[in-house]
Amino acid sequence: MTDKNSDAQRIHEAEKAFDRRRRTFGLIVAPILAVIVFLTPIDALTLEAHKLLAIMILVALWWITEPVPIPVTSLIGPTLAVVTGAISAKEAFAAFSNPMIFLFMGGFILAKAMMMHGLDKRFAYWLLSRSWVGSNPRRIFLAIGLATALCSGWVSNTATAAMMFPICLGLLDSIKEMFAVNGRKINLSEYKYATGLMLMTAYSASIGGVLTPIGTPPNLIMLGFLDSMEGIHISFFEWMIWGFAAMFFYFVIAYVVLWKLFPADVDKIDGAEEFIREKISDLGDWTRAQKNTLFAFMTAVVLWILPGFLNMFLGAESPVLKTYNELFPEAIAAMVGALMLFLLPVNFSKREFTISWKNAAAGIEWGTLILFGGGLAMGGMMYKTGLSQWIGDLIVNAMGGAVSQVILVAVFSVLALLLSELTSHTAATNMIGPLAITIAVSAGLSPIPVSVGIALSASLGFMLPVSTPPNAIVYASGYVPITKMISTGVYIDFIGIAFVTIPIAIWLVGLVVG
């Protein structure tokens, strides 16, 4: 056990040393490269586009190396663009009022209320208490994954993983106690099933994020780029169709791989059902706050998916659908649900409502909103100054002008995956999203498939603890050796890219052409 702790400590120290070198490198080298790029004559670029290119070099490298917090870098880009005269302040910061930001904000507030009042735990324990789950370790494994994935489609991946983490620990304690009763001692840090259950929790939290536009930032970022750069609007319902397909197949791959690598060596976990029943009992009866939260959440969901059904039954050109989309776009639907929480009383005589602003503000990931706005701002500026067109033409010409949809999707999907393993998936999507869309348009292709491919691939960071917060959470348990995370993550990452991401993008090509 001491050797295990020593190895973990050495790995932790090595990670810290690497982070320090990475940040120092970015802090020094990025500004130097930006200046060199600006001083290098590029006749094909306007002065404004040339300035923006230098700023993009700085921003991209700082997003990757993180010498300052990523949201700060997202504000530095538009600020430098204004200071250098590349673009006006009004144009540079217009993206921070993009409706997509308010869609995210509404989602954050709804998610905070669900977590604060225990609605997410009620769902997780309800699923784990189903009769088909019982004490069977394989079915518990499946149920933990399903509960995590379905929750993370609506609640932050990090929050979902943090919620499921203690549930997994409780189940593993039941296994340990069961073995102790039978005279067998186990070390959970070396127990295969414990490693598999932890990885299933982390991976399912990331996989579930692809279900809805608000499930994870890359989804909304790519939808925002499509809307702001090409005027292409993808509805909540449309994304959920693609997202559900992706989530289903990613989940099946993760489940099969993890169960094969980390099977249980028992047929029954004594005490598992009692543990779940006890947790449900602790939740007590439904409270007024929980009922209010469920009502507000379901209101938002209905408003999000209703246009899809109106489209199916009335047609895309229906006046009813057009009026509805004008009155209740996705951002407004999210805000309606979120604002209801401030109006639905828990105790009206004391003027207590379902959520307070203090609690709501604590649930909003302000850094993510700033990063999202900064990414949209940089993408919009690249488009307006002609920089993205120049880069797109450069790459298309370098490929001989022959860029197929499949190759484009494959290249950018793998690039999004690799970048997301090393840096924030939100920053990675911001970096390559505008470029991919511009190249697709320059090559005469639809930008929708490559955009969806990037968003889906950015959620597949399964190899390292630093790749995603859910990975870091389960790694901290001590039950997941880093070598196991890397080797397992490689399998799921590239099987997912090859058999899910690219096929879904090819399917979208047929839909777009049709």
pLDDT in tens, 444-457: 888 999 999 999 99
**Percentage of the residues of the chain whose pLDDT score is greater than 70:** 94
pLDDT in tens, 190-213: 778 889 999 999 999 999 999 999
pLDDT in tens, 386-423: 888 888 888 778 776 667 888 888 889 999 988 888 77
Nearest-angstrom CA–CA distance, 383 and 228: 9
pLDDT score, position 188: 66
The pLDDT of residue 513 is above 90: no
The pLDDT of residue 189 is above 80: no
pLDDT in tens, 252-290: 999 999 999 998 877 887 777 888 888 888 888 999 999
pLDDT confidence of 427, banded at 50, 70, 90? Answer: confident
pLDDT in tens, 113-127: 998 998 888 888 888
The pLDDT of residue 1 is above 50: no
Model pTM score? 0.86
The length of the chain, given as a count of residues: 514
The amino acid that residue 337 corresponds to is G
Nearest-angstrom CA–CA distance, 29 and 46: 25
pLDDT confidence of 11, banded at 50, 70, 90? Answer: low
Nearest-angstrom CA–CA distance, 39 and 410: 34
The pLDDT of residue 51 is above 70: yes
| DSSP-derived pairing of the beta strands 345-347 and 352-353 | antiparallel
pLDDT score, position 293: 95
141 Cβ partners below 8 Å, 6+ apart? 193, 196, 197, 200, 255, 258, 259, 264
Mean residue pLDDT across the chain: 87
pLDDT confidence of 66, banded at 50, 70, 90? Answer: confident
